[in-house]
Amino acid sequence: MLALPSGPARADLLCEGARIVAIGPDLDAPGARVIDAGGLTVGPGFIDIHVHGGGRHSFFTKDHQRIEAYAAWAPRNGVTSFLVSTVGTDPGDTAAILSALAPTIGSTAGAEALGFHLEGPFLSPEDGYRGAHPLENLARPDTRLFEKLQTASGDRIRLLTVAPELEGCLELIRSVSSRGICVALGHTNADFMTLARAWQAGASMFTHLGNGCALNIPRHDNIIQRVLALPGLMVSLIPDGIHLPPFVVSNLIKGLGPERTLFTTDAMSAAGAPPGEYSLGSLKVAVGGDRVVRLPGTGILAGSSLRMIDGFYNAARFGGIGAGQAWRSWSRLHNLFNPGAEIPLIAVPFPAGPG
Ligand SMILES: [Zn+2]
């Protein structure tokens, strides 16, 4: 079964390397190696634009071997490309991390590291909205500071998550987005007009809607409703059933529409690893038998232990969408972060859905 833009279809697929050269019934290709993908659905590999690690490997490191080890582990979870999502304990530390890891971008074997996603330091300091980000790690929006970090990364920051209500943030969004760097809003409690101005200034995404959010929010005018009402923003969800209960994933997909919905893991090193104590940057976190990552002694979620392949199944199961529709969410990201590239194919067990 192929996950095609027009919907799932049963057909043969002829590839040269990662390039598809023919699709059709009963293709004849003498000398070609035949892979029987009967019972499997074939589609483009997943891209994870928000991931802090997995398979015991953390991106809060200056050791490039952690990124390489993650890249080797990730394809077995369906991930063929990713953004290294990280931020340090202070601007100097963040610059050192970016510069130490920069040589891995574009050079990993396995999944391809396409660049960096900087989740911070320009996030809301408000309790709840800053999530697990320590207050002391946050900074005021500062275009010059961003320039320093971008220089340290060798111009490899591809995505920046910011809280637009912070003073100077709209100017930062304008400056960053005008250089072709994608800006996401997140860890924010901005009002509707500020979100709209941020979109006008060049922001195009919202990071993990429903998380990085206070536990108790006003019943109508809250960050979730405001984002749903702003059609210009693509919105990422963490479909682990914990960050968002299954019925919330379903409601958000319906409210956003499939064209605005993106899926990310926000996974940390415990993804695909057993329960225990792990570190997430400067934080110690605990992963319980329920696979939930928390700050010890609190209910605060700190990243997920989700594997993308499980997120794919969950998104389809909770959201009631077919393989083709779930896959289209990642196709949009490939077009954005890796345009024109030949995307490696993956074959996964998946029942034929409505597309
Ligand atoms: Zn976050």
Mean pLDDT highest for which of 17-26, 135-144, 318-327, 344-353?
Answer: 135-144
Q: What is the pLDDT of residues 157-176, one digit of tens each?
A: 999 999 999 999 999 999 99
% residues pLDDT > 70 (the chain): 97
Domain map of the chain by residue range? 45-342
Residue, of 337 and 29, whose pLDDT is higher? 337
| pLDDT value at residue 110 | 95
Half-sphere exposure of residue 337: CA atoms within 13 angstroms, side-chain side:
33
Q: What is the pLDDT of residues 198-253, one digit of tens each?
A: 999 999 999 999 999 999 999 999 999 999 999 999 999 999 999 999 999 999 99
| pLDDT value at residue 67 | 97
What is the CA(69)–ligand 1 centre distance, in A?
A: 23
Q: Give the DSSP letter string of 121-137.
A: SS---STTTTTT--GGG
pLDDT band, very low/low/confident/very high, at 354 (cuts 50, 70, 90): very low
Q: What is the pLDDT of residues 30-56, one digit of tens each?
A: 888 888 888 888 888 999 999 999 999
What is the CA(139)–ligand 1 centre distance, in A?
A: 15
| pLDDT value at residue 5 | 66
What is the CA(300)–ligand 1 centre distance, in A?
A: 12
350-353 long-range contacts, CB within 8 A, separation 24+: 350/1, 350/40, 350/41, 350/313, 350/316, 350/323, 352/1, 352/8, 352/41, 352/322, 352/323, 353/8, 353/316, 353/321, 353/322, 353/323, 353/324, 353/325
Give the mean pLDDT of 96-102. 97
Catalytic residues: 266
| pLDDT value at residue 351 | 65
What is the CA(187)–ligand 1 centre distance, in A?
A: 6
% residues pLDDT > 90 (the chain): 64
Q: What angle do CA 287, 63, 71 make, to 5 degrees?
A: 70
CATH class, 45-342 region: alpha beta
Q: How long is the chain?
A: 355
Q: Give the DSSP letter string of 194-250.
A: HHHHHHHHT--EESSTTSSS-SS--SSSSHHHHHHT-TT-EEEE--SSSSS-HHHHH
CB count, 10 Å around CB of 329? 25
Residue in the block written with tokens 């928000």: 50
Give the mean pLDDT of 304-331. 87
Q: What is the pLDDT of residues 111-160, one digit of tens each?
A: 999 999 999 999 999 999 998 898 999 999 999 999 999 999 999 999 99
- Rounded-to-integer distance, Cα 206 and Cα 238, Å: 12
Give the mean pLDDT of 75-101. 94
Residue in the block written with tokens 């976190």: 285
Cβ pair 131, 87 in contact under 8 A? no
- Rounded-to-integer distance, Cα 143 and Cα 147, Å: 6
What is the CA(75)–ligand 1 centre distance, in A?
A: 23
DSSP one-letter code for 161: E
What is the CA(250)–ligand 1 centre distance, in A?
A: 21
What is the CA(199)–ligand 1 centre distance, in A?
A: 19
What is the CA(185)–ligand 1 centre distance, in A?
A: 11
What is the CA(130)–ligand 1 centre distance, in A?
A: 8
